[in-house]
């Protein structure tokens, strides 16, 4: 007996629409990965200048300055939260079921490759701690996606039950 996919209520029924959306999210994930690669290819002084600019903007918004370490780690966290979220969306639409573990693994492997890439960039270093921060960010992005999927699916199921009764 075939197991019912409870998440079918939020997936587009039209296969073409689902494929187009999956390709769209794969392209967004690739663009996000490209941005991460580009940011990692900046040498140490360029990277520090970008961090200082962000620190200046945040100091104006928050009213007090943040340390460079905090800003850099939050940047790692948020860029990988976005990557994890986008990979999760793409996999969900591609496979017709949610794959949070595969999303985390893909994001973590990209983080490892990114840190290895940074090892060869002047003024940059390969840090295992950053892989942990990146993976935690990806996990957070995937958890946010999971909550969105569960909430939207719950609403869709209630509507379906309401109108089919």
pLDDT digits (tens, 9 = 90+) for 15-66: 899 899 999 999 999 999 999 999 999 887 888 888 888 888 888 888 887 8
pLDDT (0 to 100) of residue 57: 85
CA-to-CA distance for 131 and 90, rounded, in angstroms? 22
pTM reported for the whole predicted model: 0.86
pLDDT digits (tens, 9 = 90+) for 110-150: 999 999 999 999 988 899 999 999 999 999 999 999 999 88
pLDDT (0 to 100) of residue 40: 92
For the chain, the 3-state helix, strand and coil shares in percent, each to the nearest 5, are 80, 0, 20
**Domain ranges (residues) in the chain:** 29-41+73-164
Please give, one letter per residue, the 3-state secondary structure of 20-31: HHHHHHHHHHHH
Q: Are 7 and 153 in contact (CB under 8 A)?
A: yes
The average pLDDT across 67-75 equals: 85
CA-to-CA distance for 137 and 23, rounded, in angstroms? 23
Q: Are 72 and 149 in contact (CB under 8 A)?
A: no
């Amino acid at each position: 007996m075939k197991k019912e996919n409870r998440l079918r209520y939020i997936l587009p029924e039209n296969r073409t629409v689902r494929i187009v959306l999956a390709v769209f999210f794969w392209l967004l994930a690739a663009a996000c990965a490209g941005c991460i690669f580009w940011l990692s290819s900046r040498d140490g002084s360029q990277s520090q200048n970008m961090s200082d600019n962000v620190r200046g903007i945040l100091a104006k918004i928050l009213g007090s300055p943040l340390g460079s370490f905090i800003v850099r780690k939050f940047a790692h966290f948020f860029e990988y939260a976005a990557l994890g979220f986008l990979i999760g969306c793409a996999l969900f639409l591609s496979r017709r079921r949610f794959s949070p573990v595969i999303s985390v693994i893909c994001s973590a492997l990209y983080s490892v490759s990114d840190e290895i890439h940074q090892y060869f960039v002047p003024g940059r270093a390969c840090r295992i701690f950053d892989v942990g921060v990146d993976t935690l960010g990806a996990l957070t992005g995937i958890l946010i996606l999971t909550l969105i999927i569960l909430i939207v699916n719950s609403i869709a199921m209630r509507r379906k039950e309401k109108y089919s009764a």
